[in-house]
Amino acid sequence: MQKIIYIAETRIPSEMAQGLQVMKMCEAFAKQKIELELVVPMRFRIFPIEKQDPFKYYKISRIFKIKRIFCLDLTPLNRFLGPVSFLIQVLSFSFFAAIYVLFNPVIRRGKKADIIYGRDRFSLFLLSFFRKNIIFEIHKVHKFLFKRTLKKSKKLVVITRGLKDKLIAMGIKENKIFIAPDGVDLNDFNLTATKEKCREKLNLPLNKKLVLYAGHLYKWKGVETLALASKFLPPDILIVIVGGIKWYLSNFKKFIKKNDLKNVLVLGHKDYSQIPYFLKSADCLILTGTQDSEVSRSHTSPMKMFEYMASKTPIVASDLPSFREVLNKNSAVFVEADNPEKMAEGIRNVLNNAEFAKRISEQAYVDVQQYTWDKRAARILEIT
């Protein structure tokens, strides 16, 4: 049986999308008859979400192991050390994770990994001096400790064509790079509850049309455009924002107040188990981005996009190359990025045309069948 050690510098579980992506991929690899061990940092469990069983939180089968590695977690000192505490934590984890992979006696006695897989460039950089069986999954192009890892890795997995083009421009051979967009677990979004029942469960109004965004509120996500679009929509349409953490959420609420936006409901972070109900409760789902960010334009393959498609709810999306790698005019309505009026126009187009909305949502559901985590894992294993 093939063995994979998956190294992930992330809290498990956490409110970050990376945690979900890592856990779903580990499960998908393990379903391919792979013996897998996920290596993550051992950190202080400060937030309630971190104290939950990761397998239960993410609805994951217990078919792989999670190994928590010691690191210098200075989270309690964040207010004093700022970014330095995060850097120390990341570098210490990477060092000890590499030591674990190289010298752990259990691994060395017949359990040496066939593949070392991960997104953590620091630990993979260290391992690149000793191992040639590294598969590096890339979601963002970095400069520090990056180019060596690119060159020494056996294969590179990227989530968009834009990322592949960026690596080729850096001198990486094209045949070494494999494009694998993110994915979705279709079973998580196969709900029997009606839209009305979902709204009752979530305490959402039954007498309004709901336009919903589910995801983080980073600047490059472009969610401000959706919020400003509320000025061009009638009062019976409510924009619901699900997601956002820490000061990103605080700043977004200040943005809403500063611009006197009345018809926007900001709910903050919600557990993963609730997201399918939020998506099904909506009349329209919004995928935003901004032309001002290269990540947004070319380097992102947001999991929300695939979750939207799986929910069978019509999608209005900012017209960006990253989204068009998966969506098209038959599966979504595209509107000019960074333009609130055009966003509002796209929303009205969907809400006022029931047959059209049904048609594009059904096509999106057909298209998303090829983007499951299981199929993604199988395709990645084929290149190894």
Q: What is the DSSP string of 270-314?
A: --GGGHHHHHHH-SEEEE---TT-HIIIII---HHHHHHHHTT--
Which of the residue ranges 105-114, 138-147, 233-242 would you say has the lowest mean pLDDT?
A: 105-114
- Give the span between the Cα atoms of 160 and 181, in whole angstroms: 6
Q: What is the pLDDT of residue 384?
A: 84
8 A C-beta contact, residue 20 and residue 53: no
Confidence of residue 143 (pLDDT cuts 50, 70, 90): confident
Which of the residue ranges 47-51, 80-84, 259-263, 328-332 would you say has the lowest mean pLDDT?
A: 80-84
Which of the residue ranges 89-98, 140-149, 164-173, 196-205 would you say has the lowest mean pLDDT?
A: 140-149
User: Over the stretch 152-209, which tens digit does the pLDDT of each residue have?
Assistant: 999 999 999 999 999 999 999 999 999 999 999 999 999 999 999 999 999 999 999 9
User: Over the stretch 36-76, which tens digit does the pLDDT of each residue have?
Assistant: 999 999 877 666 777 899 999 999 999 999 999 998 877 66
Residue 220, Cβ neighbours under 10 Å: how many? 17
Chain mean position to CA 222: 16
Confidence of residue 115 (pLDDT cuts 50, 70, 90): very high
DSSP 230: G
Q: Does the N-terminal peptide bond of residue 13 adopt cis geometry, omega within 30 degrees of 0?
A: yes
Tokens standing for residue 79: 């207010």
Q: What is the pLDDT of residue 88?
A: 85
Find residue 116's DSSP bridge partners: 5, 134
Residue 315, Cβ neighbours under 10 Å: how many? 25
Supply angle C-alpha 301, 58, 39, rounded to 5. Answer: 80
110: pLDDT strictly greater than 60: no
- Give the span between the Cα atoms of 103 and 109, in whole angstroms: 10
Which residues are within 8 A (CB) of 250 and not within 5 positions of it... i.e. 6 or more apart?
none
Nearest to 163 by CA among 337, 17, 296, 289: 296
- Give the span between the Cα atoms of 16 and 376, in whole angstroms: 20
User: Over the stretch 241-263, which tens digit does the pLDDT of each residue have?
Assistant: 999 988 899 999 999 999 999 99
Q: Between the CA of residue 34 and those of 2, 63, 105, 169, 174, what are the distances in Å?
A: 5, 9, 20, 34, 27
- Give the span between the Cα atoms of 35 and 64, in whole angstroms: 7
- Give the span between the Cα atoms of 45 and 37, in whole angstroms: 21
According to the 3-state scheme, what is the secondary structure of 28-64?
Answer: HHHHCCCEEEEEEEECCCCCHHHHCCHHHHCCCCCCC
Q: Which domains does the chain have, with CATH numbers?
A: 3-180 (3.40.50.2000), 186-370 (3.40.50.2000)
Residue 57, Cβ neighbours under 10 Å: how many? 20
Q: Which amino acid, 313? A: T
Output the DSSP codes for 69-138: EE----GGGHHHHTHHHHHHHHHHHHHHHHHHHHH-HHHHTT---SEEEES-HHHHHHHTTT-S-EEEEE
pTM beyond cutoff 0.85: yes
280: pLDDT strictly greater than 50: yes
- Give the span between the Cα atoms of 349 and 344, in whole angstroms: 9
Nearest to 138 by CA among 163, 116, 115, 162: 163
The mean pLDDT of 265-287, rounded to a whole number, is 96
Chain mean position to CA 273: 15
- Give the span between the Cα atoms of 111 and 109, in whole angstroms: 6
Nearest to 104 by CA among 242, 234, 3: 3
DSSP 217: -
At 135, give phi and psi (nearest 5°).
-110, 115
